[in-house]
Chains A and B, each alone.
Chain A
């Protein structure tokens, strides 16, 4: 009995103003404080329960594949692209991308002193035909675009349900069983590489063909590229040509001022490209 009263006194002492007579809390105050304490405890317990559930270090997504051994990167040489659109067509077939949406696409730039023109008819899927622009185009080039698989992704940060994530081997993906299709990530991506799939009503994007690369194949777009504009490599392999290019060439990234740390690197990217 004495013990209980002591315990109560401790609570009362804590709440008493310094130097004043310890005042007994009203029922309202006491309940309020108890609730705060309880909610704190719940958060703490839930956190530790979550940590305990996750205490399986080294668990691989699949027994045949060790994601700690890989860190993927993509390299695009814009001077080589001929705008054939084979990559866009291959991506469509490989990933079943719905009509009118693109996980990768090719843009055509025509730039002159008096103006500039950019287009991507049907994502570049059917190639390009000559176009008339109302100015003298001094330079013109194709730029293949896709998800940049950023290290510091805006799209993952805004996902309210934990459906977007980046794997340890460096691929940004969407868990479409968790995705609620709110579209925040579509708006957050500065590269416009996400869309809401009209069939599933969930966010969809390039996965670097995760079902292929984890089996040792290249992504479909890289497999079919006839000019080696698109290259795919592994930064954890010392003899990898893409790793060597990224380490030794002058490579650029799209919109570096956004600090998203893209893992799609570009060779000879023009300043006009966004």
Chain B
């Protein structure tokens, strides 16, 4: 009888500890944790909807701007996505469908990012040394004075 009481006390402590542990665990561990591994599975869906895509791709632009798209697709800039120079679609067409003016980067630096002569660029890629390419000072020059960005000619 003496022994039985000891066992009972210990068992009670163990059961209580177990209950406390399970309750705490239930409260602290997120519901979807461990479904596919040691991570919270709900985060996958959260990541999918974390933000709206900003870039739409050239096809999305062509839906409205047919003429420019045709011109671009026939020219030497056919692989250059519109948004490289114009900025992401989401800045132009808002989520509610309203249209904001499209930012157009006409700067000299935009063109030289790709076309300034560098030994590191593939040799077959069209490049110029701006200082030799332009007569007179470079200051204030923009390439678009002579070159049409949608269908550049050499």
Which residues of A are interface residues toward B (Cβ below 8 A)?
Answer: 4-5, 8, 27, 30-31, 34-35, 38, 41-42, 45-46, 49-51, 53-54, 56, 59, 61-62, 65, 67, 79-86, 90, 93-96, 108-110, 126-130, 137, 140-142, 162-168, 173, 175, 177-178, 207, 209-212, 214-215, 217-218, 220, 223-228
Contact = CB atoms under 8 A, between A and B. Distances in A.
Contacts of A209: 53
What is the interface of chain B mostly: helix, strand, loop, or mixed? loop
Interface string B11-51: 00010011001100100011101111111110111111111
A45 to B, nearest CB: 7
Given A93-B87, A162-B38, 11 more contacts: A46-B25, A50-B29, A53-B31, A61-B45, A94-B51, A95-B51, A108-B120, A130-B116, A164-B39, A214-B48, A223-B81
Interface stretch (B2-10, B132-140, B141-149): B2-10
B68 interface: no
26 contacts: A35-B14, A45-B22, A46-B21, A62-B45, A82-B114, A82-B122, A86-B113, A90-B88, A109-B120, A130-B116, A141-B120, A162-B33, A162-B40, A173-B44, A178-B43, A211-B48, A211-B52, A211-B53, A214-B48, A217-B57, A223-B55, A224-B83, A224-B84, A226-B77, A226-B79, A226-B81
B4 A46 contact: no
A167 B44 contact: yes
A49 B46 CA distance: 25
Interface in B74-129: 77, 79-81, 83-84, 87-88, 109, 112-114, 116-122, 125
Contact of B39 (A79, A80, A82, A163): A163
A215 B113 contact: no
Contact of B53 (A34, A80, A127, A212): A212
The 6 closest A-B pairs by CB, nearest first: A127-B113, A165-B39, A61-B44, A175-B43, A38-B14, A140-B120
A67 B44 contact: yes
B37 to A, nearest CB: 6
Nearest to A214: B48
A13 B31 CA distance: 43
A263 to B, nearest CB: 17
B54 interface: yes
Nearest to B14: A38
Contacts of A84: 84, 113-114
A163 B31 CA distance: 14
B22 A50 contact: no
B120 A142 contact: yes
A80 B122 contact: yes
A165 B44 CA distance: 10
B36 to A, nearest CB: 7
B150 to A, nearest CB: 14
A92 B6 CA distance: 66
Contacts of B38: 162, 165
Contact of B48 (A51, A85, A96, A210): A210
